Structure 1
Amino acid sequence: MNRRFIVSLIGILLFYGGLSLYLGWNGWVYLSALYDWNHAGIYSVIVALLALAFIIGRVGQSTLLKPIAGPLKLVGSYWFAILEYGVLLFPVADIVALLLKLGGAERDAYVLGTGSIALFVLLILLIVGTRNAWSPVIRHYKVQIPKQAGGRQKLRIAMASDIHLGTTIGNGHLHRLIHKVKQINPDIILLPGDILDDDIEPFIRHKMADTLGKLDAPLGVFAVTGNHEYIGGKVPEFVAAMDAIGIRVLMDETALIADSFYIIGRKDKASAGFRAGNAGRLPISELVSPLDNSLPLIMLDHQPSDLSNAAMNGIDLSLSGHTHRGQMAPNHLVTKRLFELDWGYLKKGSLHAIVSSGFGFWGPPVRIGSRSEVLQIDVEFVPA
Structure 2
Amino acid sequence: MRQGIDPSGELAREDFLEKSIIFTHSVEDLKEVNFFIVAVPTPIDTFNHPDLKPLIAACNTVGKVLKKGDYVVFESTVYPGCTEEDCIPILEKISGLKFNEDFKVGYSPERINPGDKEHTLSKIIKVVAGSDDQAKDEIAKIYALVVEAGIHKASSIKVAESAKIIENTQRDLNIALMNELSIICDKLGINTFEVLEAAATKWNFLKFTPGLVGGHCIGVDPYYLTHKAKSLGYNPNVILSGRSINDNMGAYIAKKTIQLLIKKNKNINQSKVLIMGATFKENVEDIRNSKVVDVIRELRSFSLIVDIIDPHASSEDFELEYGISINQKPVGPYDAVIMAVAHKEYTSLDLSYFSKLMDQNSVFIDLKGMYRNQFKNLTYWSL
TM-score (norm 2): 0.34
User: With CA pairs under 8 Å and 6+ residues apart, which has the higher RCO, 1 or 2?
Assistant: 1
Query: More helix per residue: 1 or 2?
Result: 1
Query: More strand per residue: 1 or 2?
Result: 1
